[in-house]
């Protein structure tokens, strides 16, 4: 499957999976704004995209790098493409802190990292 995996955004990263040719068309037109990629024989079918994975990844990565993560996720959602924000360790730690001591941003004093 291609494209598949993590791609950097302007302020983070997303993981996406284009699972079929319909999703590839949506990615190219609604997210990347490059309709010409849809009919390009190097990318028109999943098997061709897999064979040209490095080129696909460079095109997708270049297109998403200018967008922030929230905008990227919103575009991918509207296009019907499976995606998720890639969290950093700091994000997980903050979530843990908030779940243990809501509103403080801190973990309880008896909680160690």
Residue 32 pLDDT > 80: yes
> What does pLDDT average to over the chain?
86
Within a domain: 35: yes
Within a domain: 97: no
Q: Which two tokens stand for residue 27?
A: 């990615």
- Per the structure, the complete domain to which residue 71 belongs is given by 4-87
pLDDT digits (tens, 9 = 90+) for 43-85: 999 999 999 999 999 999 999 999 999 999 999 999 999 999 8
Residue 73: CA count within 13 A, CB half-sphere? 12
What CATH number should be reported for the domain holding residue 28?
3.30.1540.10
Q: How far apart are CA 45 and CA 14, in angstroms?
A: 23
Number of domains comprising the chain? 1
């Amino acid at each position: 499957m291609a494209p598949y995996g993590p791609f950097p955004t302007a302020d983070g990263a997303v993981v996406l999976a284009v699972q079929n040719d319909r999703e590839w068309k949506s990615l190219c037109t609604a997210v990347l704004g490059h309709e010409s990629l849809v009919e390009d024989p190097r990318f028109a079918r999943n098997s061709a995209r897999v064979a040209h994975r490095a080129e696909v990844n460079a095109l997708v990565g270049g297109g998403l790098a200018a967008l922030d993560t929230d905008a990227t996720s919103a575009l991918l959602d509207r296009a019907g493409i499976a995606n998720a924000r890639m969290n950093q360790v700091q994000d997980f730690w903050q979530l843990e802190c908030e779940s243990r001591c809501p509103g403080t941003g801190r973990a309880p004093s008896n909680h160690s990292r």
